[in-house]
Amino acid sequence: MKIAEIELGERPLFLAPMENVTDASFRYICKEFGADMMYTEFISSDGLIRDAKKSLAKLETFEYERPIGVQIYGHLPDAMVEAAKIAELANPSLIDINFGCPVNKIAQRGAGSGMMRYPDKMIEITKRVVDAVKLPVTVKTRLGWDENSKIIIELAERLQDVGIAALTIHGRTRSQLYKGEADWSLIAEVKNNPRMHIPIIGNGDITSAIAAKEAFDKYGVDGIMIGRATYGRPWLFKEIKHYLATGEEMSELTVSEKTELARRHLIRSVEVKGERVGVLEMRRHLSHYFKALPHFKDIKLQLVTENSHIELLKILDHIEQTYSQEKN
């Protein structure tokens, strides 16, 4: 599979951009486990054009992460164009436009999946961004606003016609948020539409290697994007690749392997974001790394309340010593 001139190989796996999750430290770990394409956390167009410190910081990427995309969102065409130009200066592999985020504070403003109610404006923004930058532009979106407005088949054609290089589709409407099952049949309809020639990447409910293989085999997508299932389980990419290659499920990581991984992830997080923010943003990951351990409640409380990374490293040592003979 290729996005413009970016070669991604057969059946590539994408790490979904997620706010306060897919920072440089998490991307570092996911790349190690086989993520073929990654993105920054999504970035507000308004924040970029105002030189907001947090938004600008998200543009920083590293050479080992390539290929990597910068994802932007917003509802004002001029701001989106200006933000895309600023993002291009950071030299990512591509620019991705987020028309899929369902969070109220974004969607109700008309940004993210809120744009599903205004497809003409979505097309205008996309065309203007494509015309404004030299990098490939891709889009991530949903099936529609609600059950009665699943517009994705026609919308995909229109997005392709204004020049996007690939399309990622989350198999839910905005109204569903993350509830119910993702509808991959509509993703397949887009992929099998004879008018479509750009890569189609499917997203939604890929929580196992078996589910990933089914998505490729049954629905024919070019690539798969994985989001929430990677919380505390970045090795999911390796599990999927192992299963696709061998037809066998990979052995579960041992507690010792997980604690060693958690240590490296924590140290990297602190290096990238400093002690306070680095520890704070690791809490989500650490609580998921070990959630299957017996009697985890007390340990979890320590992991999500401790503010010192040195003390967290000691807690990880304790977890390894206590559970080293067990697999979770």
What pLDDT, on a 0 to 100 scale, did the predictor assign at position 51?
82
Query: Looking at the 3D structure of the chain, how many domains does it have?
Result: 2
Q: Based on the fold, state whether residues 187 and 261 are members of the same structural domain.
A: no
Question: Is position 170 within any domain?
Answer: yes
Catalytic residue annotation: 101
239 and 277 inside one domain:
no
For the whole model, what pTM was predicted?
0.92
Tell me the pLDDT tens digit for each residue of 252-276.
899 999 999 999 999 999 998 899 9
Last residue of a domain, one of 246, 264, 290: 246
Residue 109 lies in a domain: yes
3-class secondary structure, 101: coil
pLDDT tens-digit profile, the chain (328 residues):
999 999 999 999 999 999 888 999 999 999 999 999 999 999 999 999 988 888 888 899 999 999 999 999 999 999 999 999 999 999 999 999 999 988 888 988 889 999 999 999 999 999 999 999 999 999 999 999 998 889 999 999 999 999 999 999 999 999 888 898 899 999 999 999 999 999 999 999 999 999 999 999 999 999 999 999 998 899 999 999 999 999 999 998 999 999 999 999 999 999 988 999 999 989 888 888 888 788 888 888 999 999 999 999 999 999 998 887 554 4
Q: 139 pairs with which residues across the strands?
A: 97, 167
Q: Which domain holds residue 315?
A: 255-323
Please state, in angstroms and rounded to a whole number, the distance separating the CA atoms of residues 114 and 239: 34
Q: Tell me the one-letter amino acid at 265.
A: H
pLDDT digits (tens, 9 = 90+) for 281-305: 898 888 888 887 888 888 889 999 9
Q: Are residues 294 and 231 in the same domain?
A: no
End position of a domain, from candidates 222, 246, 270: 246
Question: Are residues 188 and 304 both part of a single domain?
Answer: no
Question: Are the C-beta atoms of residues 65 and 39 closer than 8 Å to each other?
Answer: no
Are 312 and 206 in a shared domain?
A: no
Q: Count CB-CB contacts under 10 A for residue 44.
A: 20
Q: Give the pLDDT of residue 325.
A: 58
Q: Are residues 176 and 296 in the same domain?
A: no
Strands (DSSP E) found in the chain: 2-3, 6-7, 13-15, 38-39, 43-44, 68-73, 94-99, 137-142, 166-170, 200-203, 223-226
Q: pLDDT, tens digit, for every residue of 185-225?
A: 999 999 999 999 999 999 999 999 999 999 999 999 999 99
**What is the distance between the alpha carbons of residues 80 and 82, in angstroms, rounded to a whole number?**
5
Same domain, 164 and 233: yes
**pLDDT the model gives residue 34:** 96
N residues, the chain: 328
Q: Is residue 292 part of a domain?
A: yes
Q: Please check whether residues 176 and 122 belong to one and the same domain.
A: yes
Same domain for 239 and 267? no
Do 150 and 33 share a structural domain?
A: yes
